[in-house]
Amino acid sequence: MERVSWESAWEAWGEATADSIEKYGPLSLFFYRGYGSLYFSRNLLVNVFAHMGGYTATSGSLCGAAGGAGLRSVFGGETPVFRPETIGKRSRGVLLWGRNAIETHVHLLPFLDMVRKRGGEVSALEIRRTKTTDYADRWWRVRPGTDALLALLLCRELLVRGDAAAGWRDHSQNPDEFDSMARAIDAGSALTACGMDQKTFDDIYMWLLACRPVAIYGGYGIQRYMSGSRTYMCLAALSLLLGAFAQPGGGVVFGKDEMAMFPWELVRTPPVKRLLPVAEWHRTDFRRPRLGAAVFASANPAKQGPGSGDFAAALKDIPFSVCLDHFMTETAMCCDLVLPSASFLEEGPDWRGSWWHSYLLRSVPVIEPPGEALPDTAIFAGLARAVGVSCDPVAECREMDRRLRSDPRLDEIAEGIYCFDEPDTWSQSDRVIRLPDKPPRFDTPGDGAAIRLVSVHVADYINGQIWGVETGGGLPLVRLSKDDAAGAGVSEGDTVRISGEQAKGPSLQAEVRVDTSLGKGYCVMRQGADDINRLTRARSSPGSGAPFHESFVRIEKMYGKSDNSA
């Protein structure tokens, strides 16, 4: 890396951009934007490319795209809203369905306390013991990737026993279709596929009946499977049968549109545009027609994207690449030009919505950016100048600020804090939704040598960011059930090699923890650990999601614990 001035950086970037357009057309400009920053102004950056004739961007997300798509398909394209206040005031039961709230979403705790103070209960459905299962009043274990099936089995039971909420049919476009589909499921083999015994199933069922209205608080892990969007459709169906829309406090909670109040009219429609699925854009077949200049902003796909081992090679095929970040990330290391971005405290006025509450924040700079760092809007304004297009994201951001400040729907309740009256979709008594019409495909657990790799979020990291976190310098840990540890001939403390499905594929070393709370056939590691995404497969699930957990690995012993210490 060589230090350059801003002027020469913009000049090089501008030249590469103009060159790419001339040789391969505007679709050769690639903009990969992640969620490192949720500032509204980030939506305006593409205007610079729209002025140049078009661009290629990514579809979906590495995060909640699959689940979100499932819920939108049920709600006719709309993202449903479930306000946390409704949980606190109205829900009697909260089922944390694969949501490790105590680890990743502690701001939910005051609302869970409110539920408990009113005599309600909190339960969890998990594939392992977590801080959240310890916190919950009770928890049940399900086999990874079978939640859609379990939800449908619960629907079937409600229908067969006549326990479904009165009037549920009035809230559905296709009640008959759903009813016969659910009843047709073979309960015995489906329960085996879910890795559950009848007693556990009955316990969940009775809890749901006793704790209505139930907020099913879904997680992100449960949608990192090929069935991810279907899982959320089935959770919505279960909520409906339990009485959602009849009484506030029941429904599915899973993020919401944090850009709901953004003035979308400020985003220019490009003459041409192409979307590549975010989880596998770097596969060769997706890069035709070719990409000539790529920009990565607020994202670290070289570490956080599935199949990350192929990222560097894909970039070698792109003549010019740029990364905007605060840090020298794995992605930045692969790029030709690295541009220092100001952080959220150093820029603005800018705005943010939220994926869970209904407030907007207007943020102003409180400190100067260090060194020569600039806000992303100013960095893109420099590119526009270098290419000679008249587009200024800094001015557009000011216009956005002006519009939002004068938006009559927003009420400033404290300095920089605005609230708006966001309707709670699940509490609307006139709602009609579309239920899933096909059962999820399911297999019965086999005893293949390869086991599923599930990676989970942890409080110590912020996604892929572990700057400043003490990792101890040791090997990453891999958690295995007793059976799988015995099957691989390893025990607690051993060092193992974990390799992907293909022979000679990438591998990494890890230290074994035997976790008696796990079922057979899967292992658990922390997401954000170095190289873990070399083992995950780059493919897309419906809704352009990233099914990280549909990856299988082989585990071989390298050294025993005592060899290690010796």
Ligand X SMILES: Nc1nc2c(c(=O)[nH]1)N[C@H]1C(S)=C(S)[C@@H](COP(=O)(O)OP(=O)(O)OC[C@H]3O[C@@H](n4cnc5c(=O)[nH]c(N)nc54)[C@H](O)[C@@H]3O)O[C@H]1N2
Identity of the residue, 46 or 63, whose beta carbon is nearer to Mo ion in the bound complex: 63
Q: C-alpha distances in angstroms, 267 versus 262, 263, 351, 407?
A: 10, 8, 16, 18
**Residue (of 555, 553, 530, 549) closest to 455 by Cα position:** 549
Q: Is the dihedral of CA 486, 487, 491, 493 positive or negative?
A: negative
Complex with ligand X: residue 326 or 431, whichever CB lies closer: 326
In angstroms, give the least distance from the CB of 475 to ligand X: 17
How would you write 175-201 as a 3-class SS string?
HHHHHHHHHCCCHHHHHHHCCCCHHHH
Helix (H) or strand (E) holding 472: none
CB 12 within 8 A of CB 228: no
Q: Looking at 14, 250, 292, 301, which residue binds ligand X (CB under 6 A)?
A: 301
* Between 21 and 96, CB nearer to ligand X: 96
Residue with Cβ nearer Mo ion (147 or 484): 147
| Dihedral of the alpha carbons of 337, 346, 396, 381, in degrees to the nearest 10 | -20
Site residues for ligand X, window 137-166 (CB under 6 A)? 142, 144-145, 147
Which amino acid, one-letter code, is at 99?
R
Query: Residue 413's binding partner, choosing from ligand X, Mo ion, none, with beta-carbon cut-off 5 to 8 A by kind?
Result: none
**Which run of H or of E encompasses 29?**
strand 29-33
Q: Which is nearer to ligand X, 354 or 428 (CB)?
A: 354
Q: How far is the CB of 135 from ligand X (least distance, A)?
A: 12
Q: Are 69 and 425 in contact (CB under 8 A)?
A: no
Identified binder of Mo ion from the candidate list 45, 63, 508, 512, rule CB under 5 A: 63
Binding mask 515-554 for ligand X (x = CB under 6 A): ------------x----xx--x-----------xx-----
Number of residues counted as binding ligand X (CB under 6 A):
55
Closer to Mo ion by CB, 63 or 299: give it: 63
Binds 46: which of ligand X, Mo ion, none (CB < 5-8 Å by kind)? none
Site for ligand X in 43-62 (CB under 6 A): 62
Element (H, E) at 331: helix 330-334
Distance CA 537, CA 550 (A): 7
Least Å distance between CB 462 and ligand X?
A: 5
| 459 contributes a contact to ligand X by CB under 6 A | yes
Give the one entry of ligand X, Mo ion, none that residue 536 binds, where binding means its C-beta sits below a cut-off of 5 to 8 angstroms depending on kind. ligand X
Residues 364-423 that bind ligand X (CB under 6 A): 376
In the complex, minimum distance from the CB of residue 272 to ligand X, in angstroms, rounded to a whole number: 25
* Residue 518 burial (CB count, 10 A): 24
Question: Which residues ranging from 325 to 364 are in contact with ligand X (CB under 6 A)?
Answer: 325-327, 329, 341, 344
Output the CA–CA distances (angstroms, integers) from residue 431 to 74, 167, 213, 235, 423, in the order listed: 11, 12, 17, 16, 12
Strands 495-499 and 507-514: antiparallel
The helix/strand count (H/E) of the chain reads as 19, 21
Nearest in space to 400 (alpha carbons), one of 352, 355, 357, 344: 352
Which option in Mo ion, ligand X, none does residue 36 bind, with CB closer than 5 to 8 A by kind? ligand X
Q: Which C-beta is closer to ligand X: that of 287 or that of 457? A: 457
Pick what 219 binds: ligand X, Mo ion, none; C-beta below 5 to 8 Å, kind-dependent. Answer: ligand X
Choose the binding region for ligand X from 28-36, 240-248, 282-290, 426-434 (rule: CB under 6 A). Answer: 28-36
Question: What amino acid is encoded at 52 in this protein?
Answer: M
Tokens 């102004």 belong to residue: 41
Q: Which is nearer to ligand X, 9 or 222 (CB)?
A: 222
The binder of ligand X chosen from 66, 87, 115, 125 (CB under 6 A) = 125
Residues 6+ apart with CB under 8 A from 189: 444
Tokens standing for residue 274: 């192409």
Count Cβ neighbours within 10 Å for each residue of 267-296 and write b for 16 or more, e otherwise: eeebeeebebbbbbbbeeebbeeebbbbbb
Dihedral (CA of 76, 258, 66, 202) sign: negative
From candidates 41, 123, 130, 499, binder to ligand X by CB under 6 A? 130
- Minimal CB distance residue for ligand X: 36
CB of 219 to ligand X, least distance (A): 3
For residue 336 the two structure tokens come to: 């030709």
Taking the least distance from each CB to ligand X, the nearer of 160 and 328 is 328
Sole window of 6-14, 244-252, 296-304, 438-446 interacting with ligand X (rule: CB under 6 A): 296-304
CA 1 to chain centre: 33
Among 456, 478, 510, 514, binds ligand X (CB under 6 A): 456
Residue number of the CB closest to Mo ion reads 63
Decide: is 83 part of the binding site for ligand X (CB under 6 A). Answer: no
Task: Give the type of residue at 344.
Answer: F
Residue span binding Mo ion (CB under 5 A) among the ranges 63-71, 95-103, 479-487, 556-564: 63-71
Number of residues that bind Mo ion (CB under 5 A): 1
Q: Pick from 454, 480, 538, 553 the residue near ligand X by CB under 6 A.
A: 454
Query: Which of 174, 192, 465, 509 touches ligand X (CB under 6 A)?
Result: 465
Nearer CB in complex with Mo ion: 63/204: 63
d(CA 196, CA 142): 6
Q: Of ligand X, Mo ion, none, which one does residue 439 interact with (CB within 5 to 8 Å by kind)?
A: none
Stretch that binds Mo ion, among 59-67, 230-238, 306-314, 550-558 (CB under 5 A): 59-67
> Which residues, 6+ apart, have CB-to-CB distance to 167 below 8 Å?
246
Binding site for ligand X (CB under 6 A): 34-37, 62-63, 97-100, 104-105, 125-128, 130, 142, 144-145, 147, 219-222, 297-301, 304, 324-327, 329, 341, 344, 376, 454-457, 459, 461-465, 527, 532-533, 536, 548-549
Binding site for Mo ion (CB under 5 A): 63
